[in-house]
Amino acid sequence: MNATIENNYRYHSPQPGQPEKYEAIRSKAKELAYLIDELAPNSREKSLASTKLEEAVMWANASIARNT
């Protein structure tokens, strides 16, 4: 059995303090998303920046869920 695979593919119920961390990350990312939306011209690059920011939030939150 591979412990990393088992951990990565199981449900991680929120532990005390985690929802606040998730919200803090989402809140800061939303600030950056608005800044990018305001300053960057509509383009493929802007779309990619938005997608990568969403991915960053997802991976940061996964880090909290999987390693706490």
d(CA 17, CA 8): 20
pLDDT of residue 68: 82
Residue 26 neighbours by CB distance under 10 Å: 14
Whole-prediction pTM: 0.89
pLDDT by residue (tens digit) across 25-52? 999 999 999 999 999 999 999 999 999 9
